[in-house]
Amino acid sequence: MITATQTTTQPAAQNQSATQKKTSGLASDFETFLKMLTAQARNQDPLEPLDSSEYAAQLAQFSMVEQQVQTNELLDGLAGTLSAANLTEMAAWIGKDVRVSSAFRFQGAPVQLFADAATGADTAVLVFRNADGQVIGRLPVSPTDREFLWAGLDDSGAPLPDGTYAATLESYRNGELLSSVPASSFSRVVEAQVENGTVLLSLDTGTVQPASEVVAVRVGS
């Protein structure tokens, strides 16, 4: 599903019609201006002719208006192109598995987790929490490892029910806590939307993450 907070595109026929109206209106105004200028030249007082600088000023003013109209049309075209690019970008996220540091779903199969221990750590522990934030397990791991496989067991070895969980990697040196960082995992993108210029991804875990926080993408299985 793709959601946009504002309508960003218009039918091509409507845009073309609006452009044609602007162009024809501009041409009509220019022809009217030339007729008025010609009439002014024909009916001027020979004894007090108009200063040629006045003609130049009028032409310059009309030229500025014409350039502004053309600039606005160009900007409208660029806005439509950028809007289409945003929609294409959002559509590309749907159904992909993205790796972010957030909660993950456990459905009976082992879950792959990623985290880096602090520099100089001699021990490390993965701490698991349920959706309520309660600690439901602690798993000692090597501080040199960066990838881990969690089987979904509590400290007693009993299997945990399917649900949403989160993990943090705690790093220790000589028993002193050095850092506690959230582990990342892959989750499925089910929706994408743009809010204040930022692409937000809704995951199958129920969380929403900015696309800028994604560190890896793979094809959904």
Phi, psi of 90 (to 5 degrees): -65, -40
What is the pTM (predicted TM-score) of this model?
0.60
Beta carbons of 91 and 204 less than 8 angstroms apart: no
Q: Which amino acid is at 138?
A: R
The predicted pLDDT at position 65 comes to 62
The predicted pLDDT at position 9 comes to 43
Locate all alpha helices (DSSP H) within the chain, ordered by sequence: 12-42, 52-93
Higher-confidence position of 155 and 80: 155
Q: Is the dihedral of CA 194, 196, 198, 202 positive or negative?
A: negative
Q: What is the pLDDT of residues 12-52, one digit of tens each?
A: 445 455 445 554 555 556 667 667 767 766 766 666 665 66
Q: What is the pLDDT of residues 146-191, one digit of tens each?
A: 999 999 998 888 999 999 999 999 999 999 999 999 999 999 999 9
Question: How far apart are alpha carbons 200 and 28 in whole angstroms?
Answer: 46
Higher-confidence position of 5 and 216: 216
The predicted pLDDT at position 104 comes to 94
Residue 1 reports pLDDT greater than 60:
no
Higher-confidence position of 89 and 215: 215
Neighbour count for residue 102 (Cβ, 10 Å): 20
Beta carbons of 130 and 204 less than 8 angstroms apart: no
Mean pLDDT of the chain: 79
The predicted pLDDT at position 12 comes to 46
Residue 7 reports pLDDT greater than 50:
no
Residue 4 reports pLDDT greater than 60:
no
Q: What is the pLDDT of residues 86-140, one digit of tens each?
A: 677 788 889 999 999 999 999 999 999 999 999 999 999 999 999 999 999 999 9
